[in-house]
Amino acid sequence: MPLIQVKLIEGVFDSNQKKEIITKLTNAMVSIEGESLRPVTWVVIDEVRSGAWGIGGQAMTTADVHAMAED
Protein backbone atom coordinates (compact mmCIF):
# COMPACT_ATOMS: atom_id res chain seq x y z
CA MET A 1 0.00 0.00 0.00
CA PRO A 2 1.73 3.20 -1.18
CA LEU A 3 1.51 6.31 0.95
CA ILE A 4 2.43 9.60 -0.70
CA GLN A 5 3.00 12.50 1.69
CA VAL A 6 2.90 16.04 0.36
CA LYS A 7 3.87 19.08 2.41
CA LEU A 8 2.68 22.51 1.31
CA ILE A 9 2.81 25.97 2.80
CA GLU A 10 -0.72 26.80 3.97
CA GLY A 11 -2.86 29.01 1.80
CA VAL A 12 -0.93 28.45 -1.42
CA PHE A 13 -3.20 25.86 -3.03
CA ASP A 14 -7.00 25.93 -2.96
CA SER A 15 -9.16 22.85 -2.41
CA ASN A 16 -9.57 22.18 -6.15
CA GLN A 17 -5.82 22.27 -6.68
CA LYS A 18 -5.31 19.87 -3.76
CA LYS A 19 -7.85 17.48 -5.30
CA GLU A 20 -5.90 17.68 -8.56
CA ILE A 21 -2.64 16.94 -6.74
CA ILE A 22 -4.24 13.88 -5.14
CA THR A 23 -5.65 12.64 -8.45
CA LYS A 24 -2.47 13.15 -10.45
CA LEU A 25 -0.16 11.63 -7.84
CA THR A 26 -2.45 8.62 -7.54
CA ASN A 27 -2.50 8.24 -11.32
CA ALA A 28 1.30 8.45 -11.44
CA MET A 29 1.66 5.64 -8.88
CA VAL A 30 -0.96 3.50 -10.63
CA SER A 31 0.92 3.93 -13.93
CA ILE A 32 3.94 2.34 -12.23
CA GLU A 33 2.28 -0.22 -9.95
CA GLY A 34 -0.82 -1.18 -11.89
CA GLU A 35 -4.51 -0.43 -11.59
CA SER A 36 -5.08 -3.04 -8.89
CA LEU A 37 -3.31 -0.81 -6.35
CA ARG A 38 -5.46 2.30 -6.96
CA PRO A 39 -7.86 1.50 -4.07
CA VAL A 40 -4.97 1.30 -1.60
CA THR A 41 -2.88 4.24 -2.83
CA TRP A 42 -3.06 6.96 -0.19
CA VAL A 43 -2.15 10.62 -0.63
CA VAL A 44 -1.87 12.82 2.47
CA ILE A 45 -1.47 16.58 2.19
CA ASP A 46 -0.01 18.33 5.22
CA GLU A 47 -0.03 22.11 5.30
CA VAL A 48 2.81 23.83 7.10
CA ARG A 49 2.08 27.13 8.81
CA SER A 50 3.18 30.19 6.84
CA GLY A 51 6.65 31.18 8.00
CA ALA A 52 7.42 27.73 9.44
CA TRP A 53 9.03 26.48 6.23
CA GLY A 54 12.64 27.40 5.58
CA ILE A 55 14.48 27.45 2.27
CA GLY A 56 18.10 28.51 2.02
CA GLY A 57 18.07 29.74 5.59
CA GLN A 58 15.05 31.99 5.02
CA ALA A 59 11.52 31.46 6.34
CA MET A 60 9.00 31.20 3.50
CA THR A 61 5.52 32.59 3.86
CA THR A 62 2.37 32.15 1.83
CA ALA A 63 2.91 35.64 0.43
CA ASP A 64 6.47 34.72 -0.62
CA VAL A 65 5.21 31.73 -2.60
CA HIS A 66 2.48 33.77 -4.28
CA ALA A 67 5.07 36.42 -5.21
CA MET A 68 7.34 33.74 -6.73
CA ALA A 69 4.43 32.38 -8.78
CA GLU A 70 3.78 35.84 -10.24
CA ASP A 71 7.29 36.17 -11.66
pLDDT for the residue numbered 71: 75
Give the residues across from 45 on adjacent strands: 6
Domain total for the chain? Answer: 1
Task: CATH number of the domain at 32, please.
Answer: 3.30.429.10
What range does the domain containing 61 cover? Answer: 3-70
Predicted structure pTM score: 0.88
> pLDDT tens across 5-64, in order?
999 999 999 999 999 999 999 999 999 999 999 999 999 999 999 999 999 999 999 999
Task: Name, in order, each residue with C-beta under 8 angstroms of 7's C-beta and a sequence gap of 6 or more.
Answer: 45, 46, 47, 48, 53
